[in-house]
Structure 1
């Protein structure tokens, strides 16, 4: 018995906390996990990251502003963030680089109830907008306000958690909420014809949305690991575009409190947000240099850059597998 105990102790000391030989890697999400994050859970469940020597931990996020700062400070090697928000963080000194777009189109959308006296953006002044402090819509609000022709201080913001937005709107705690377009169907079901909404794209503001970002220093030290991570993630998103069923199964097995039917509806909206001329012809997740220049100019014009930088240094497409493309045939018109 004594020898068995010694052998067991020796074995325990030899084994790392995660898979043997795998590097512990953290990914900080932008929000709580939903369908748009399911490819990460699917790839993890399939053992794809582990096979590449990556012991992945997925951390729940608290907004793109928070994930940008954590990745930019080295607190997490990888993260998900609204790309315009990430550019704001970079201008403040955050050391981060965008690796692939998830939302080629902005998912930022404002929702309101017509019965509250809001029938469009011109009615926003004097009303309360509910979202979390780190919400990308709050960070980028001055840009939206200028595009809409209203004063940035014409509204007040109320702190509302990401899962409490519909309840806050329904109870009239707030008059308007910001949310991603992938959650659109939940609001249609809840409010029907009383629901009003406006996607930022309809205002001429279409910066890249959720994107995979990496800490710059980590990228310099671990280019092969970063490339593996990006390509596995591309592969996972492509697999989920082809058939989301196993991806949602992996998500629901690892995250509690999600409704499967709602996640299916979300995924249909997400595919729409993923598709553009570059993700379908260049590579799934492609980031276009000219669009990035426009995004930089948008941030600089409306928010200002504390420390201007060359936007070409804020992203790279070198890690992408160009053989993996977004399948446009899977997107409903």
Structure 2
């Protein structure tokens, strides 16, 4: 996962810029998650009987290689929750042009995306036919990682320091807002290209002073590598940046034609994430076992540490897993429009809670 997710953000923002120019543009039924061993054994029994049934095939496209954002999917697959729901779910890697396009084209019924990168997909005369149907995490866990003691524990501390950037319009506008709003000067930040794969190591080697990371991976990795770092969350500086990242999106035509199947998929997925909340160690092991890319090999300690942290973020203070707060969604899209980052106001667009289970 690391910061490669943000490279996708940069690419999506650049694509949005091209579109603009061309067009003149907590309570989540945790009882179900407490099943532990009895859940697993009953799932195995269900798996045996389900082999005689016709299962509805579902393709789910990830946003990147498997990581702890995706754990609930692998749990639902390995504990048989999808088969119990009558589904045969295949989890695949994204194509070169991204998960959103694969989902919009109908090659995948569901995919992982993020509210910020979705903006480019929605902001055109012919928007992609996708809808966010569940929040994987309730709050934006991204922020700035820096060497401990360099004075970058708040945004204004980035003034006069070096920041590794992907030159994404949304990325840079976010930084400008938080730095200047904190009394710093964004124009005095030294911007250099970001080619970093190991953030704590890059900071320790003084390759850069500050990097945008998701705490559940990059921040946790600093602890695993025992690299003293400071960190601040964007959402804590300005609540407008408490947008949804990542989210599960669905193909609009699929939602229209097969709403009951969509609900069954999300109900089984919810059970997977609820299990991960109650059983982070077992869930992390399932993620590692289910990774067929080999990307997690050698990173078992990081996966376990990340899972301990992120399992508390799946629902956090929400009424249930997957719920998307309308006000928070709209506040961020209004900020994009107000800052000229979209050609139109996208508030009220791109999401639905209608396919989530109750309570």
1:3-18 equivalent positions in 2, closer than 5 A: none
Quote the residue 1:143 is aligned against: 174
Q: State whether residues 145 and 232 of structure 2, in contact with CA within 8 Å, keep that contact through their aligned partners in structure 1.
A: yes
Once residues 281 and 223 of structure 2 are traced to their aligned partners in structure 1, the CA distance between those partners, rounded to angstroms, is 23
In structure 2, what is the equivalent of residue 172 of structure 1? Answer: 206
Q: Does the 8 A contact of 1:208 with 1:295 survive in 2?
A: no
Which position in structure 1 is the counterpart of 2:156?
122
- Output aligned runs, 1:41-52, within 5 Å: 41-52=74-85
- CA–CA distance in structure 1, aligned partners of residues 222 and 173 of structure 2: 25
The answer (yes or no) to whether the contact 1:146–1:152 under 8 Å persists in 2 is: no
Which of 181, 193, 203 is equivalent to 2:215?
181
> Shift of residue 157 of structure 1?
4.9
Name the count of aligned residue pairs.
296
Q: CA RMSD, aligned part only?
A: 3.2
Return the offset for 1:44: 0.9
Equivalent of 2:191, from 152, 156, 159? 156
Aligned partner of 2:247 in structure 1 is 211
2 CA distance for matches of 1:123 and 1:97?
A: 38
Give the CA deviation at 1:230: 0.9
Mapping of residues 76-115 of structure 1, within 5 Å: 76-92=108-124, 93-114=127-148
| Matching residue within 103, 111, 117 for 1:71 | 103
Q: Cα distance, 1:227 vs. partner?
A: 1.1
For residue 237 of structure 1, what is the aligned residue in structure 2? 273
Instruction: Check whether the contact 2:142–2:215 (CA below 8 A) recurs between aligned residues.
Output: yes
CA distance in 1, matches of 2:52, 2:174: 45
Alignment check: 8 A CA contact 1:140 1:303 kept: no
Correspondent of 1:289 among 321, 326, 351? 326
Quickly say closer, same or farther: Cα 1:198–1:302, change in 2 above 3 A: farther
For the pair 1:266 / 2:306, whether they are aligned, the reply is yes
How many Å apart are 1:231 and its aligned residue?
Answer: 0.9
Residue 285 of structure 2 is matched in structure 1 by 249
What is the TM-score with the length of structure 1 in the denominator? 0.76
Task: Work out whether residues 106 and 201 of structure 1, in 8 Å CA contact, stay in contact via their aligned partners in 2.
Answer: yes
Q: Is the 8 A contact 1:71 1:77 kept in 2?
A: yes
**Structure 1 residues 81 and 131, CA, compared in 2 at 3 Å: closer, same or farther?**
farther
The 1:152/1:23 distance shift into structure 2, 3 A limit, reads farther
Local SS of the residue matching 1:231: helix
SS in 2 for 1:86: helix
- TM score, norm. by length of structure 2: 0.71
Secondary structure of the structure 2 residue equivalent to 1:293 = helix
Quote the offset at 1:233 in angstroms: 0.7
Q: Which runs of 5+ in 1 are unaligned?
A: 1-17, 324-333
What residue in structure 2 maps to residue 302 of structure 1?
339
Distance in 1 between residues matched to 2:130 and 2:337, nearest whole Å: 18
**Superposed displacement of residue 106, structure 1:** 0.4
Secondary structure, counterpart of 1:287 in structure 2: coil
Listed as ranges, the gaps of 5+ residues in structure 2 are: 1-50
DSSP-derived class of the 1:312 partner = coil
Give the Å deviation of 1:75. Answer: 4.6
Deviations 1:182-220, CA, capped at 9 Å, x for gaps:
122321343544x12211112112112211111222222
Distance 1:154 1:26, change over 3 A: farther
User: What's the offset of the Cα at 1:69?
Assistant: 4.2
1:130, distance to aligned residue in structure 2 (A): 4.0
Between the aligned partners of 1:191 and 1:303, the Cα distance in structure 2 is 41
Distance in 1 (alpha carbons) for counterparts of 2:188 and 2:105: 30
- Between 1 and 2, higher relative CO (CA 8 Å, sep ≥ 6) is seen in 2
